[in-house]
């Protein structure tokens, strides 16, 4: 990590409504939907634990009590709840509210509705090794289309040889944001407290040449609709050799 310590803290974004997963999410928050016997949230938390993260701040809004109860006994990482039941704040707004719990050092950010199967390396370790605060404000984990299961959209970013990113506008040779990142909390200085998206900060970092990315290894899986669940479970079985 360019001589710096690997992030010990993470923000896990788990407050969304999961409307595309109805009717499943009528009574169950999307992060607690199970794939191959494990909740989406636990796939992410287990990846953080494997990377040595000791504390995960999980934001909650929709059916929050279920998520709070689910993580109550978890020790690795220890989960701290950021309560957004008073109103959804979107990805960046949720992070801004949680900043006092996240500290002043760079931290991981994970989406609670995507996950991956590591192969020869732990992808979060790979991300941490690539982090360089002298050149980066945000470092994204990226997936190519050949490694993705369940992705129905276009690409998100183009990656230059030096790792800097630009918006791909859906270009066929682009890469997909894989829902994991390292973020310098300094980018949120003076940020509004209300609802707003991380995309604003991605674009600001692009303008400064400080949004970078690394391409993950293994299989990346996203579950957007009920009919994506069987494909996700098949991908897990294949990736794990079962």
106-117, pLDDT tens digit by residue?
Answer: 999 999 989 999
**Helix H or strand E encompassing 48:** helix 40-50
> Is residue 128's pLDDT more than 90?
yes
For residue 214 the two structure tokens come to: 């690394």
Amino acid 1: pLDDT: 41
pLDDT confidence bin for 82, thresholds 50/70/90: very high
Q: Contact at 8 Å (CB) between 149 and 227?
A: no
**pLDDT in the model for residue 120:** 79
Query: Cβ distance 12 to 102 under 8 Å?
Result: no
Residues facing residue 116 across a β-bridge: 220
User: Mind listing the pLDDT tens digit for each residue in 143-200?
Assistant: 999 999 999 889 999 999 999 999 999 898 999 999 999 999 999 999 988 899 999 9
Which positions ≥6 away from 188 have C-beta within 8 Å? 92, 95, 96, 99, 201
Alpha-carbon span 112 to 127, nearest angstrom:
18
% of the chain residues with pLDDT over 90: 86
Architecture of domain 9-239: Alpha-Beta Complex (3.90)
Which helix H or strand E contains 215, and what residues bound it? strand 211-215
CA 28 – CA 223 distance, rounded (Å): 14
Q: Are strands 38-39 and 211-215 parallel, antiparallel or unpaired?
A: unpaired
pLDDT of residue 4: 59
Q: What is the mean pLDDT of the chain?
A: 93
Q: What is the dihedral of CA 225, 92, 155, 131, to 10 degrees?
A: -120
pLDDT tier, 242 (very low <50, low <70, confident <90, very high otherwise):
low
């Amino acid at each position: 990590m360019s001589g710096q310590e690997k992030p010990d803290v993470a923000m896990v974004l788990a407050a969304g409504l999961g409307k595309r997963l109805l009717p499943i999410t009528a009574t169950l928050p999307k992060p607690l939907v199970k794939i191959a016997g494990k909740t989406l949230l636990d796939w992410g938390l287990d990846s953080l634990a494997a990377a040595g993260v000791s504390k995960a701040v999980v934001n909650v809004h929709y059916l929050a009590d279920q998520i709070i109860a689910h993580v109550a006994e978890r020790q690795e990482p220890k989960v701290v709840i950021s309560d957004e039941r008073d109103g959804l704040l979107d990805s960046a707004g949720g992070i801004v509210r949680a900043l006092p719990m996240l500290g002043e050092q760079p931290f991981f950010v994970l989406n609670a509705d995507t996950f991956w199967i590591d192969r020869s390396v732990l992808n979060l370790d790979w991300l941490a090794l690539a982090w360089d605060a002298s050149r980066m404000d945000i470092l994204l984990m990226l997936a190519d289309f050949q490694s993705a299961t369940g992705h129905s959209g276009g690409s998100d970013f183009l990656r230059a040889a030096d790792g800097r990113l630009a918006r791909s506008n859906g270009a066929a040779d682009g890469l997909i944001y894989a829902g994991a990142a390292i973020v310098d909390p300094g980018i949120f200085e003076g940020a509004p407290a209300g609802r707003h998206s991380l995309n604003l900060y991605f674009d600001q970092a692009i303008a400064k040449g400080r949004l970078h990315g690394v391409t993950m290894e293994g299989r990346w899986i996203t579950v957007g609709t009920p009919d994506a669940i069987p494909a996700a479970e098949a991908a897990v079985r294949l990736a794990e050799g079962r």
